[in-house]
Amino acid sequence: MKKIFIIVGTRPNFIKVAPLLIQLKNNKKYKTVLIHSGQHYDYYMSKVFFDELNINPPDHYLNIGSGSQGYQTAEIMKSIEVVLTENKPDLMIVVGDVNTTMAASIVAAKLYIKIAHIESGLRSYDKKMPEEINRIITDSISNYLFTHSRGADKNLISEGIPKDKIFFVGNIMIDTIINNLEKIQSREKYREFNLNRKDFILLTMHRPSNVDNEEVFRSIAGALEEIAKNMKIVFPIHPRTVKMAEKLNIKLSKIKNLKIINPLSYIDLLSMENDSRCIITDSGGIQEESTFLNVPCFTIRENTERPITIDIGSNILVGTKTKDIVSNVENCLNGNCKQGNIPELWDGSTSKRIIEVINHEI
Ligand code: UD1
């Protein structure tokens, strides 16, 4: 029996592997082993996703925790090398663009273990983002590159990656939404905050480029203060943002109509996305989820590795300047919201297509 190892570490990783694990569950051809690096470890950043998405506890938990970019990457590499050397899997599956993804890929490549990268080919062309380095390195050493858009294929080809390694299979995060759609649509999480459907804005923000930089953080906070005069904003806050707001003495809790809450579980967050008037975010995953749900999304970044959400979906890149954020969001609140379409193969069957390729290739 062939051994497939799947490695996860952070919130978005758990969401991406859930449908794959469903596909592999009763597969007699493979033994599937799940490794969790422990990059995210708090209950509401990790275990709640396992519980809600019915993911079995990991077979190996590496307990890495937080640290600087280099420290965290090195710790993951050290621990995962032990597990991979002992077990010698036939294939290692990595997802997304986090430190866990790159660290595991480097170790596997040096042990001659074949690597499948899901969500390959995304590029922001901004090497100041740690994720961009993770994407480029992971793609350059992967054997099977699974993409979610034709644009991603083009990026890989332009970097000299042979076409026969690239498989356009669609967006696996959409499988997770579709598998949970009834729960998402019936959860009505907004009621807990005494809100009405489509009468609030959902905000998420955690990128180092936004929250580790005082000028940018203050500029965004200024926009939130302005926007909140017209509509309530709900903000499930990431621990990095809590830490940086304290350090920079930015008093988000003083903004009237901005409700700060703990990070939400998957179904709760998707319920809030689905029922919001619009979303302000710097998350990659939320740009895609809002496109699928056709909820207007304002991305507070200078670039995005997910341009398909702008070209086809309901996303608008608004940058981080106060006036640009305010004018775009208010335009929507005044009734001129962007409508989008769903991209090709964002249809709920991506995990199935990935397993078909794996069956054929290994
Ligand atoms: C990481 C990913 C980012 C992804 C995000 C999803 C990298 C380079 N970045 O960013 O791409 O969008 O996850 O959330 O891999 N912390 C806790 N509890 C936890 C986890 C983190 O308190 O369970 C705090 C720690 O103070 C830590 C900080 O959050 O230092 C940042 O965590 P880290 O995993 O380093 O990066 P993220 O910002 O979460």
Residue 165 maps to which CATH number? 3.40.50.2000
Q: Tens digits of per-residue pLDDT, 163-203? A: 999 999 999 999 999 999 999 999 999 999 999 999 999 99
Residues 92 and 117 in one domain: yes
Question: What count of other Cβ atoms lies within 10 Å of the Cβ of residue 3?
Answer: 15
The set of residues, in sequence order, having a beta carbon less than 8 Å from that of 358 and lying 6+ positions away, is 4, 91, 116, 144
Cα 41 to averaged position of ligand 1 atoms, centre (Å): 10
Residues 163 and 275 in one domain: no
Q: Tens digits of per-residue pLDDT, 115-173? A: 999 999 999 999 999 999 999 999 999 999 999 999 999 999 999 999 999 999 999 99
The closest residue, in CA terms, to atom 21 on ligand 1 is 40
| 134 CA: nearest ligand 1 atom | 8
Residues 7 and 155 in one domain: yes
Flag whether 78 is in a domain.
yes
Count the helix, strand and coil residues of the chain and give each as a percent rounded to the nearest 5.
Answer: 50, 15, 35
> What is the number of domains present in the chain?
2
Residues lining ligand 1, Cβ inside 6 A: 10-12, 39-42, 45, 66, 97-99, 130-131, 206, 239-240, 243
Q: Which of 40, 117, 148, 206 is catalytic?
A: 206
* Residue 26 scores a pLDDT above 90: no
User: Which residue out of 40, 41, 129 has the highest number of ligand 1 atoms within 8 Å of its CB and is therefore the one to mutate?
Assistant: 40
206 a catalytic residue? yes
The closest residue, in CA terms, to atom 22 on ligand 1 is 239
Q: Tens digits of per-residue pLDDT, 58-104? A: 999 999 999 999 999 999 999 999 999 999 999 999 999 999 999 99
d(CA 360, CA 362): 6
Residues 8 and 82 in one domain: yes
Q: Tens digits of per-residue pLDDT, 278-332? A: 999 999 999 999 999 999 999 999 999 999 999 999 999 999 999 999 999 999 9
Domain that holds residue 254: 181-333
d(CA 7, CA 91): 11
d(CA 218, CA 129): 20
Residues 194 and 156 in one domain: no
Flag whether 215 is in a domain.
yes
Residues 153 and 23 in one domain: yes
Flag whether 60 is in a domain.
yes
Q: Tens digits of per-residue pLDDT, 27-67? A: 899 999 999 999 999 999 999 999 999 999 999 999 999 99
Residues 18 and 126 in one domain: yes
3-state secondary structure at position 336 = coil
The closest residue, in CA terms, to atom 31 on ligand 1 is 240
Residues 164 and 246 in one domain: no
The closest residue, in CA terms, to atom 4 on ligand 1 is 98
